[in-house]
Amino acid sequence: MKLNVQASGDIAVVAVQAEFLDGGNAKAFKEQITPICAQYQKVVLDLGQVQFVDSTGCGAILTCLKQLSAAHGDLKLCRVTRPVQALFDLVRIQRILECFPTVEEAVKSFTPA
């Protein structure tokens, strides 16, 4: 599991460099994302390379959201692939997490209108 982190002001854009986010690598994801969530209150998770997420992967993403929410921060998702979007639709993850088509739109969503 590799996470590519780029700062955009006070926002961390985290690109998941893996095809899967599942039971096999969710622990590594959580270990790597935890210090990022501790450093930044606003995180954009770029899922453009992820083709499969299982329940453990969803749990890892929600753990990140919980950590950020406790620090009055927020998590946004972007570039969600079709297979992953199908799962997110099924579990209705968009009810608690905003998803955006591009990194730019996700970053811009943190700016109050």
Core vs surface per residue 33-67: b (16+ CB within 10 A) or e: beebbeebbbbbbbbebbeebeebbbebbebbbeb
Q: 44 in a domain, yes or no?
A: yes
To the nearest 10 degrees (0 to 180), the angle between helices 26-39 and 55-70 is 20
pLDDT number for residue 80:
97
What pTM does this model have?
Answer: 0.93
Q: 113 in a domain, yes or no?
A: no
Q: 90 in a domain, yes or no?
A: yes
CATH of the domain at 104: 3.30.750.24
Written as tens digits, the pLDDT of the chain (113 aa) is 899 999 988 999 999 999 999 999 999 999 999 999 999 999 999 999 999 999 999 999 999 999 999 999 999 999 999 999 999 999 999 899 999 999 999 999 998 75
Q: What digits encode the pLDDT tens for the residues 68-84?
A: 999 999 999 999 999 99
